[in-house]
Structure 1
Amino acid sequence: MIKVLVADNHPIVRAGLKAVLNDSSDFEEVGSVSTTTELFNELKNASPDVILLEMDIPEVNGITALRKLKKDYPDIKVLIYSTQAEDVYALSTLRAGAAGYVSKAASLDTLKNAINKVAEGGMFITNELAQRLAFDESTNKPRRFFRKLSTREVEVLKLLASGKRNKHVAEELGLNEKTVSTYKARLMRKLNVDNMVDMLQQAKALELY
């Protein structure tokens, strides 16, 4: 069962999420807070797997709160659940450490899928965002990132993007962990990124080709 802490300043949203989460055998709501002060106080006692964080939560802006969460509680996955359209904040929150971004306009099935995916160690972004990431904004032409990758590199990238750790990637492909680490470094170099967030965003775009 995935333990979820809800951080949202709207009482109706908190009540609705509590009902949805506790009505499922897959989830358990372990806390509900309306400000960042309440959030960090709650984390002194609660140990959620996933935090649903509203970007407009009072006291500290969402990006600052997210960075502090990732610094103080690196093992907790943070899923942004916001009224803000994803094209406004999604990229910046992912780079700040969020494991995914879901608009409140999305369906409950999408939200549940996102919670499951990030809890398992993956990253959640919508197909719409992936498509924007796959196109060069200056030319509006597809970024053909993957033409320069070998078949094995694509296999490694897909497994990493699905949330698998180096050890599990190695086991599935019959490699050792050191080799997987080498592939990961090579992928970052070829895709011209310097962090896993950007690499996984580009991996999501692979689904479009």
Structure 2
Amino acid sequence: MSTILLADHHPITRVGITSLLSQNDDLEVIGNVTSAQELFKFLKNKIPDVLVMEIDLPEINGITALRTIKTQFPGTKMLIFSCHPEEMYAISAIKAGASGYLSKTVSTENLQQAIQQVARGGIYLNKNITEKINSGVSHGNGLISKFKKLSTREAEVLNMLATGKRNKEIAEALDINEKTVSTYKTRLLKKLKVDNLADLIHQTRLLQLRTT
């Protein structure tokens, strides 16, 4: 039996997943946490076979959390269960140490399949995103292929910009200074071949709309 730790600040998500997995003899939820502080406190005492975690966990940026867990608790297998489209965060999450990325719009069967695959040591990505990543096919001149070229940190900055966060907020969330945020914005404009921030955000949101 594989043990599961849930890290999500939405009560209905934690209760729902716990109820679902209670019907699966191969999976057991051994705890649930609602913040980064609770998560790291739990991991210091016990490592689950799979950590199912949301990308927007309170008190810490999701990608930063993945990197920290990978460093401090290297044996932890992590599956991101997120409301954000796979194209926006999946690659960054995998690079940061996750073993899978799953949208909260998937079926209960897919969720259990993903957990079991990660528990066995595999990598889980939605079939559609896997095909798109492999082919590089998307809107216009290869929008997804452009996103694939972004570093993990560039993708983090881009996603925060797309949600309306300001330079100061991004700097605080990622523990960098505002000048560095500006440097990342300049790189993003060049890599995604747009002329201004408005077009940059438009492309990002267009990608989101095309994948929901």
Q: Deviations over 1:33-80 (max 9, x none)?
A: 000100000112222000001001100010000101111111110000
Distance between the aligned counterparts of 1:68 and 1:8, measured in 2? 17
Q: Is the 8 A contact 1:3 1:29 kept in 2?
A: yes
**Aligned partner letter, 2:15:** A
Please give the root-mean-square deviation of Cα atoms over the aligned residues, in Å.
Answer: 1.6
> Structure 2: which amino acid aligns with 1:69?
I
TM-score normalized by structure 1? 0.65
The separation in 1 between residues aligned to 2:78 and 2:130, in whole angstroms, is: 19
> Is the 1:30–1:46 Cα contact (8 Å) retained in structure 2?
no
Matched position secondary structure for 1:16:
helix
Counterparts of 1:136 and 1:42, CA distance in 2: 39
Determine the structure 2 residue equivalent to 1:51: 51
Residue 44 of structure 2 aligns to a residue whose secondary structure is coil
Contact map agreement 1:99 1:122 (CA 8 A) in 2: yes
> 5+ unaligned residues in a row in structure 2: which ranges?
144-212
Is the partner of 1:29 in helix, strand or coil?
strand
CA distance, structure 1, for counterparts of residue 136 and residue 7 of structure 2: 34
Q: Give the CA deviation at 1:22.
A: 1.9
* 2:119 paired residue number: 119
State the alpha-carbon separation in 2 of the partners of residues 58 and 64 from structure 1. 12
CA–CA distance in structure 1, aligned partners of residues 68 and 60 of structure 2: 10
Find the aligned partners of 2:105 and 2:43 in 1 and give their Cα distance: 28
Q: Please name the residue that 1:86 is paired with.
A: 86
Gaps in structure 1 of 5+ consecutive residues: 141-209
Q: Counterpart amino acid of 1:24?
A: N
Listed one character per residue, the Cα deviations across residues 90-143 of structure 1 (whole Å, up to 9, x for unaligned) are 111011111000101000110111111111111001110111112235469xxx
How many residue pairs end up in the alignment? 141
Contact 1:31 1:46 in 2 (8 A): no
Give 2:60's aligned amino acid. V
Deviations 1:145-172 (A, max 9, x none): xxxxxxxxxxxxxxxxxxxxxxxxxxxx
Aligned to 1:70: 70
How many angstroms does 1:19 deviate by? 0.9
CA distance in 1, matches of 2:106, 2:142: 29
Question: 2:95 is matched with which residue?
Answer: 95
Closer/same/farther in 2, CA of residues 29 and 139 from structure 1, 3 Å limit: closer
Quote the Cα distance in structure 1 between the aligned partners of 2:136 and 2:108.
31
Tell me the residue number matched to 2:39.
Answer: 39
Q: Could you tell me whether the CA contact under 8 Å between 1:77 and 1:119 is conserved in 2?
A: yes
